[in-house]
A and B are shown apart, each in its own frame.
Chain A
Amino acid sequence: MADTKLQLAIYWGAACGGCDVSILDTNEFILEVDKVADIRLWPIAADGKYADVEAMADGELDVALMNGAVRNSENEYICKLLRQKSKIFVAYGSCAYMGGIPGLANLVPRTQIIECAYLTNPSIEPGNRTVPLAECSVNGYTLEIPKFYDRVYKLDQIVDVDYYVPGCPPQPDQAKAAILALVAALTGQADPPPKGAVVGAYERALCDDCPREKSEKKIARFYRPWEIMQDPDKCLMEQGIFCAGMATRSGCGVRCPNSGIPCRGCYGPAPGVLDQGAKLVSAVASIIDSKDPEGIEAALATLPDFTSFANRYSIPASPLQRSHRQ
């Protein structure tokens, strides 16, 4: 064990909290982490305030695990602050890595989000016109809240990221492996992974690890998982259930397909894939059993909201990044 403890920070941006829970889900391993590391900031499980981080010297932290995307100015501030104070900055989880579920909001303009959440939602009290403003004046005082940006950013669009740990959330075993790899690198027991590496996942597609039987794929239509009695041994795509496994990196342990649920793509693009959405266009096109435009259209009509399925976690990471509707 090292003489001096490693300095660790864990924080979140636009996130659901699942990533923090995935670290806690390593169970007693977290006590091993505590033996070798001082947790300087982890509000969800330990403690730490912004002022504590601001008071640190640059590079004082060995590792910062940042989960969640950047949706507002506060997310951006803490992201840049932790980057400055850390030797190794890790984008932890799908939102940090690719924008994740919050990134789906990049397909609609900010005004529509505010209107839906604060004005037209059925749960809003009739007549309530309260919307959040970055700055407002109350009794002569100016109140400020973080600025809500026009879109969601993945972390490496904001700061320099050293490593990525994919997953929504990362599987506890993979989180453990990633943390151990970083500890080994920092204590000189192993070479660090190359900068920019995706750690806690494999260099192959999900289908490579999926135990379902794969044969010639020819389908006339798609089914949502509840619309069909599923053959538990056969490739989901061959049964017409849209599965993102072909374009997705393996590392999760094939949990969804093993439970009868199609892959949702949370581990991000497979090695060599730029955009999951574009690759899934090819994948779906290759298996439709039709050679005439009407038949193709009929098959595609059974696949609603394709973009949100194909780029479910990766809209800010797609080359287009956001809606460009004017």
Chain B
Amino acid sequence: MTFEPTIVGFLCNWCSYTGADLAGTSRIQYAPNVRIIRVMCSARIDPTFVLKALTDGADGVLICGCHPGDCHYSEGNYKMMRRFPLLKTLLADYGIEEERVRLEWVSASEGQRFADIVNDMTERVRALGPSPIKMALAHDMAER
């Protein structure tokens, strides 16, 4: 049986969620692995959410916001843009593979782009296999 990754998607309400909605209403077929959580803005996505998602069983986390310059709140996506490299550094130091967490800008008209991103990410995370976190923490329980 092929491994089906679970990907948590945090999508901003104004652009990316609407883009995902467009993918749906346009009947574009894409991988069912992403579980979407709608947030009002990509700036609302506290890095803690990403850590929580990963430790609570997600194999990957997808963050989508408005393209730079298009934020409904004018600056929110820039906050996410600045957080992301630092979050990647933090995750890399904890040994989490780079491709498990991804930031993309998706506008309300980019239904096809959203579907392509989800398909591509699903394949990449599938190739990586299940998140190592659960196994490592189980190993810790066993060593004592």
Interface residues of A (CB under 8 A from B): 73, 76, 107, 149-151, 153, 158, 273-275, 277-279, 281-282, 284-286, 288, 290-291, 293, 296-297, 300, 306-308, 310-311, 318-326
Cβ contact within 8 Å between A285 and B86 = yes
Residues on the A chain within 8 Å of B91, using CB: 320
Cβ-defined contact, A307 with B94, below 8 A = yes
Chain A residues with CB under 8 Å of B81's CB are 291, 293, 296
Contact A277 B90 (CB under 8 A): yes
Query: Across the interface, which residues of A come within 8 angstroms of B46, CB to CB?
Result: 278-279, 282
Judging by beta carbons under 8 Å apart, are A149 and B144 in contact? Answer: yes
Chain B residues with Cβ under 8 A from A282's Cβ? 46-47, 79, 83
Given contacts A150-B139, A322-B136, contact A278 B93 (CB under 8 A): no
Of A76, A153, A322, which is within 8 A of B94 by CB? A322
Q: Is B27 an interface residue (CB 8 A)?
A: no
Chain A nearest CB from B49 CB (Å) reads: 9
List residues of chain A with CB within 8 A of the CB of B47: 278-279, 281-282
Q: Interface of B with A (CB < 8 Å)?
A: 46-48, 50-52, 54-55, 68, 78-79, 81-83, 85-87, 89-91, 93-96, 132-133, 136-137, 139-140, 143-144
Q: How far is the CB of A154 from chain B (nearest CB, A)?
A: 12
Q: How far is the CA of A150 from the CA of B140 in the complex (A)?
A: 7
Sample 6 A-B pairs with CB under 8 A, ordered by A number: A274-B51, A278-B48, A285-B82, A310-B90, A323-B94, A323-B95
Q: A107-B93, A158-B144, A278-B51 are in contact. List 11 more A-B contacts (CB 8 A).
A: A107-B94, A107-B95, A150-B140, A278-B87, A279-B48, A291-B68, A300-B86, A320-B55, A321-B140, A324-B94, A325-B95
Min CB gap A145→B, angstroms:
16
Least CB distance, A70 to chain B, in whole angstroms: 9
Contact A307 B133 (CB under 8 A): no
| With A306-B90, A307-B94 as contacts: A320 and B143 at CB distance below 8 Å | no
Alpha-carbon gap, A275 to B52, bound state (A):
10
Chain B nearest CB, measured from A184 CB (Å): 36
- With a cutoff of 8 Å between Cβ atoms, the chain A residues found around residue B132 in the complex are 324, 326
Please give the distance in Å from B45's CB to the nearest CB on chain A.
10
Cα–Cα, bound, A285→B77 (Å):
11
Q: How far is the CB of A74 from chain B (nearest CB, A)?
A: 12
Contact of B86 among A73, A273, A281 (CB under 8 A): A281
* Other-chain residue from A107, A153, A275, A326 in contact with B51 (beta carbon distance below 8 A): A275
Secondary structure at the B interface, as helix, strand, loop or mixed, is helix
A41 to chain B minimum Cβ distance, whole angstroms, is 23
Q: Which residues in A have their C-beta under 8 angstroms from that of B52?
A: 274, 319
Residues of the A chain whose Cβ atoms lie less than 8 Å from the Cβ of B96 = 320, 324
| Chain B residues within 8 Å of A325, by CB | 95
Which residues in A have their C-beta under 8 angstroms from that of B90?
A: 277-278, 281, 306-307, 310-311
Q: Let me know if B137 and A321 touch, CB within 8 A.
A: yes
How long is the Cα–Cα vector from A151 to B138 in the complex, in angstroms? 13
A231 to chain B, nearest CB (A): 24
Chain A residues within an 8 Å CB radius of B82: 284-286, 288, 290, 296
- Residues A307 and B89 in contact, CB atoms below 8 Å apart: yes
Question: Looking at the complex, which one of A274, A284, A320 makes contact with B54 (CB distance below 8 Å)?
Answer: A320
Contact A323 B93 (CB under 8 A): yes
Instruction: Report chain B residues within 8 Å CB of A277.
Output: 90
What residues of A have a CB within 8 angstroms of the CB of B78 in the complex?
Answer: 291
Complexed CA–CA distance, A107 and B47 (Å): 19
* A324 in complex: contacting residue of B68, B79, B83, B95, CB < 8 Å: B95
Q: A281–B93 Cα gap in the complex (Å)?
A: 14
CB pair B85 A296 closer than 8 Å: yes
**Complex: chain B residue closest to A157, CB-CB:** B140
Report the minimal beta-carbon distance from A108 to chain B, rounded to whole angstroms. Answer: 10
List chain A residues, Cβ under 8 A from B140.
Answer: 150-151, 153, 321-322
Q: What's the nearest-Cβ distance from chain A to residue B4, in Å?
A: 20
Q: When A277-B90, A306-B90, A324-B132 are in contact, do A285 and B55 touch as well, CB less than 8 Å?
A: no
Contact of A275 among B48, B86, B139 (CB under 8 A): B48
Q: Report B43 CB to chain A, min CB distance, Å.
A: 9
CA distance A254 to B85 in the complex (A): 30
Chain B nearest Cβ from A232, distance in angstroms: 28
Question: Which B residues are in CB contact (< 8 Å) with A285?
Answer: 79, 82-83, 86
* Distance, CA A149 to CA B140, complexed state (A): 9
